[in-house]
Structure 1
Amino acid sequence: MQDEQFTLEAVEAIALGRQTLVLSEAQQQAVSAAHQFLLNAIAGRQRIYGVTTGYGPLATTEVDPRQSALLQQNLVYHLCSGVGEPLARPHVRAMMVARIASLALGHSGANPALLQRMQAWLAADVVPEIPSQGTVGASGDLTPLAHLARALSGGGRVSIQGGPWVDSAAAHQQLGWQPLVLHGKDAIALVNGTSVTAGIAALNATAAERAVKLSTLLVLLYSELLAGHREAFHPAIGKVRPHPGQQQLHRWLWSLSASSQALTPWQAAPERLAEMPEDIAQNRPLLQDAYTLRCAPQALGAVLDVVCQHASTVRIELGSVTDNPLLLADDQLVLHGGNFFGQHLAFASDHLNNALLQMALYSERRIARITDPLKNKGLPAFMQPQDTGLHSGFMGAQVCATSLVAELRSQAMPASIQSIPTNADNQDIVPLGTIAARRASSSLTQLYQILAIEALILVQGAELKNSESLSHASQALRHWIRNLAAPLQQDRPLAEDIAKVAASLADPDQVKPLMALLDIATP
């Protein structure tokens, strides 16, 4: 059973600064016991990788325990070689939560003071500057975690409560703390794990689940605007193809559409032909819709299954010890292995990225159909309500969505298959999970921008038709959007509206009323 402090939802809340982290008494005892076991092993002059030896290919060098602090410091120094833009504040906070979660299991040997300081940093909103690039995720996220270790030791820069970057030493002085001196296994326990990847992936997991639910609401409104056949949502269709995600989409869409007067209703008794044609009768009404309507449960259901698989992998990782060597105090064992190897998260993140791209493409296709006067069943071109031609409505926004999908496609190459040997061929295979998780995070940002464009367009369409005939869920969505952006009567710049709606859709607190619609619709 997953620790309630480290659920995906809890990691997100802490990362956003909306929840605090306090370790239990049992966790603190486990950390202390492992640390004492390590000290006893060092006193017994046991050969322990990274504690009484050098690192990587240099592990043939034995190091006197009296050089412990220098050894740990030099590990941090040589790994502080990251480049690129700093990781976003929520990513860094999620990284710290994930590292605390791993160390708190009591098999790493870190000094309890290390965990206490990271907890204090989360509480005070001290965020170290962590370059986003430079890790292969093989021996864990060595490079970015080393920048965290450097900041904890008084080096590098930090931001306090979202303020400007300041020297870590000055921040310590301002907060009345002494920088940590890393001893024993402190540095290697801190840097030698998958916590950057796990932290980012945890935020991706919750954001991706919300994106599926938002897409479900948008699909419903889209279908209503096009008078789609409700029959495609019937749960019996999912019953005979029992993929969990597809079945969930059938349940959601069938339940949410029950109050709609805008969909073509389903009739249990098949419609009979008025008269049997002698040969053929052409131009009769279609029995079924285009795939963006008819295949919604199948398309989004497959995405939901991938999202759930990814989330399951991340949950396991958050409850795992991912550094090396491992200390099993109860069994008096020191085990050298490879739990830092982030292959699970690499595969899961790449798989998720493919699903996010498909969700974005699906949204863009809905936008294209609903803005096309040849296909949108009487709605104006680009949802411009008056003086079409003089005003262009959402034409530019639709092009923006197309551009975002094209950019996402250009970034679709999996990171997890790009293994390249490094570290004097000691790390002769590498998973590159951090790159995969960062890419999925970037895809989520663009996906939410596309969903924002779609939401603005569909809500405009709802107001051009009889909105009273819409389902309760679609009317709630319309009111939610209208609290953020006004209707488009005449052309105006839409960039600010898109950004505002995208940010609100991505915010777990702001979007709660919409998420509640699907919770109610779940039997």
Structure 2
Amino acid sequence: MDDGRRSLEEIERIALGRQSITLSLAEKNAVAKAHAFLCKAIEQRRRIYGVTTGYGPLATTDVDPKQSALLQQNLVYHLCSGVGEPLSHRHARAMMVARLASLVRGHSGANPVLVERLQAWLEVDLVPEVPSRGTVGASGDLTPLAHLARALSGEGRVSLREGSWIDSGEAHQQLGWKPLLLQGKDAIALVNGTSTTAGIAALNATAAQRALKLSTLLVLLYAELLEGHREAFHPAIGELRPHPGQQQLHHWLWSLSEDSAALTPWQRVPTSLPDMHNGIEQHRPLPQDAYTLRCAPQALGAVWDVVEQHAQTVRIELEAVTDNPLLLADDDLILHGGNFFGQQLAFASDSLNNALIQMALYSERRIARITDPLKNKGLPAFMQPLDTGLHSGFMGAQVSATALVAELRSHAMPASIQSIPTNADNQDIVPLGTIAARRASTSLEQLYQVLAIETLVLAQGAELKNAHLLSHASRMLCAWVREYAPPLKKDRPLSEEIAKVATALADPDEVAPLMALLSSAH
């Protein structure tokens, strides 16, 4: 896009290797202008942090510009101290996209050759081996981004087209490229930003939005199987409590349930009380449902608000320059500040994590009620219709959902409040946003596993109970899941099927028909 703005959906598709990234002429010109300004400032022997000085508490040392390449190399070397399993392929690509998005704003001073090479790496699907742990997110994601810088320089290991790890030098030879020589401000421009956090958070944002929409479809099917009262979805209820998320959920659920014959219909004119000889009439049907049905707009609406707030924070970050120092060529300014400090993403990721855990809990509670023969309106125990007792149906899967929620709860402690001073007290406060974003990513993976279990359970329930009465949306959902798993008649191992459905639910292309249901809700 000419203004440099790329949607979260575009970022995701690029990270997944399903779309190329293109740079506008304006972006290329901005990069070239900032680099020319930097080169002129270096020629003037201006004191520029990390370019003509040492780093962190060692910035008291002035460095001759002739030592530029060695200074940049040593920055990369001392920061390549990450540990733990590598970032996933998609997270590494998302990190690269996010860094590129920052550099092309034209205030970092990176060499245009570096920007072009980053774009080329994405195009051929070459990603660095980046240890996932070791960054506090204070001067940006120094450690993981340094491993990217090292790989661009022809060192460390890389993966080409999701193949095995190979030496970066070998990959360069295969591609006919020369490794980059980082100099000027190239290394610090690469590492001094929030791009690892932002890249992971961008993928979290789209995945969370889809999870919420899937939960909405599951709630509708759940309510239909339990013959819930459609009245609870009425949009007028949301108008009187105008949180945007709640109003959105009322709109979706009311619209999608319009053609359902399985729900208890709303009656504009309420029924009258019968004649009562003793002043009371007991054992009447409940006029309202349990909260997993009745409070769906409120519960999921609150989640949607958090999901959207997180997404907006990520959008802003992806349009930002998270660097230090900042170059403003038009004003002949070099400003030293703290745009690399990732507090916004840290808070947003922690908030998202809480909402994801609540969504998983809500799903688990729906699974528990619908598999309980005392509460599920005539459905068999654990959805096992054949020789119940000899066969146990989804009993084990329901326990797995409970275990997943328990584990998610144990990971609920916010990362953003765990600041520990480091770097000789230069970084005396740190946001730990990368940890928060990685944790939210893990929560999303487990949430999708819970949703997969619920999807399998509810689809089975639909086939056992008047499927022809269901809404069009619920029938579509049931048909969709049957493309990945057959009905459960006799007990069989479900682990692989749960994993298969969870993977499909998390894939934007696989669930596109389901997402279209909500987009078309009038």
Q: Partner of 2:75 in structure 1? A: 75
d(CA) in 1 for partners of 2:335, 2:68 = 20
1:282, distance to aligned residue in structure 2 (A): 1.4
d(CA) in 2 for partners of 1:270, 1:509 = 44
Give TM-score, length-normalised by structure 1. Answer: 0.99
1:22, distance to aligned residue in structure 2 (A): 1.1
Give 1:97's aligned amino acid. Answer: V
Q: Give structure 2 stretches of 5+ with no counterpart.
A: none
Q: Partner of 1:97 in structure 2? A: 97
Deviations, residues 178-210 of structure 1 (Å, cap 9, x unaligned): 000001000000000000000000000000000
Residue aligned with 1:204, SS: helix
1:110 and 2:110 equivalent?
A: yes
Give 1:437's aligned amino acid. Answer: A
Residue aligned with 1:75, SS: helix
Q: Give structure 1 stretches of 5+ with no counterpart.
A: none
Preserved contact between residue 4 and residue 319 of structure 2 (Cα < 8 Å): no
Preserved contact between residue 346 and residue 416 of structure 2 (Cα < 8 Å): yes
Residue aligned with 2:302, SS: helix
Give 1:116's aligned amino acid. Answer: E
Residue aligned with 2:132, SS: strand
Q: Partner of 1:264 in structure 2? A: 264
Q: Within 5 A, what are the aligned runs for 1:278-317?
A: 278-317=278-317
Report the count of equivalent residues. 522
1:4, distance to aligned residue in structure 2 (A): 6.3
Preserved contact between residue 5 and residue 21 of structure 1 (Cα < 8 Å): no
1:343 and 2:343 equivalent?
A: yes
1:273, distance to aligned residue in structure 2 (A): 1.1
Q: Partner of 2:321 in structure 1? A: 321
Q: Within 5 A, what are the aligned runs for 1:5-404?
A: 6-404=6-404
Preserved contact between residue 448 and residue 506 of structure 1 (Cα < 8 Å): yes
d(CA) in 2 for partners of 1:155, 1:271 = 76
Deviations, residues 426-451 of structure 1 (Å, cap 9, x unaligned): 00000000000000000000000000
Preserved contact between residue 138 and residue 432 of structure 2 (Cα < 8 Å): yes
d(CA) in 1 for partners of 2:74, 2:463 = 64
Preserved contact between residue 2 and residue 24 of structure 2 (Cα < 8 Å): no
Q: Partner of 1:462 in structure 2? A: 462
Preserved contact between residue 139 and residue 341 of structure 1 (Cα < 8 Å): yes
Q: Partner of 1:493 in structure 2? A: 493
**CA RMSD, Structure 1 to Structure 2 (Å):** 0.9
Give 1:19's aligned amino acid. Answer: Q
Deviations, residues 442-490 of structure 1 (Å, cap 9, x unaligned): 0000000000000000000000001000000000000000011000000
Q: Percent identity at matched positions?
A: 78
1:2, distance to aligned residue in structure 2 (A): 9.7
1:3, distance to aligned residue in structure 2 (A): 4.6
Give 1:270's aligned amino acid. Answer: P
Residue aligned with 1:60, SS: coil
d(CA) in 1 for partners of 2:280, 2:188 = 77
1:278, distance to aligned residue in structure 2 (A): 2.9
1:437 and 2:459 equivalent?
A: no
- Say if 1:361 and 1:277 are closer, same or farther in 2 by CA, change over 3 A: farther
Give TM-score, length-normalised by structure 2. Answer: 0.99
d(CA) in 1 for partners of 2:231, 2:183 = 66
1:274, distance to aligned residue in structure 2 (A): 1.9
Preserved contact between residue 28 and residue 112 of structure 2 (Cα < 8 Å): yes
1:276, distance to aligned residue in structure 2 (A): 3.7
Preserved contact between residue 2 and residue 26 of structure 2 (Cα < 8 Å): no
Residue aligned with 1:45, SS: coil
d(CA) in 1 for partners of 2:351, 2:466 = 40
d(CA) in 2 for partners of 1:276, 1:343 = 63
1:277, distance to aligned residue in structure 2 (A): 4.8
1:511 and 2:511 equivalent?
A: yes
Q: Partner of 1:407 in structure 2? A: 407
Give 2:341's aligned amino acid. Answer: F
Give 1:425's aligned amino acid. Answer: D
1:275, distance to aligned residue in structure 2 (A): 1.4
